[in-house]
Structure 1
Amino acid sequence: MTTARRNAVRQALAGCEGFRSAQDIYADLRADGSKIGLTTVYRALQALSDSGEVDVLRTDDGEAVYRACRSEEHHHHLVCRACGRTVEVAGPAVEKWADAIAAEHGFVDITHTVEVFGTCADCAPNRS
Structure 2
Amino acid sequence: MASAATSMPLAEQNWNAAFGSLYFANVNWNIFTFGKKTQQVALASSKEKVATADVDQIIFEHQIKVAAAYLNVLASQRIRFVQGKNTERAQVFFEMTSSRAASGLIPQVDLSLAKAEVSHARSLEIKS
Query: Counting strand residues as a fraction of each chain, which structure ranks higher?
Result: 1
TM-score band, normalised by the shorter chain? Answer: under 0.3
Q: Larger relative CO (CA 8 A, sep 6+): 1 or 2? A: 1
* TM-score between the two structures when normalised by the length of structure 2: 0.18
Of the two, which has the highest radius of gyration? 2
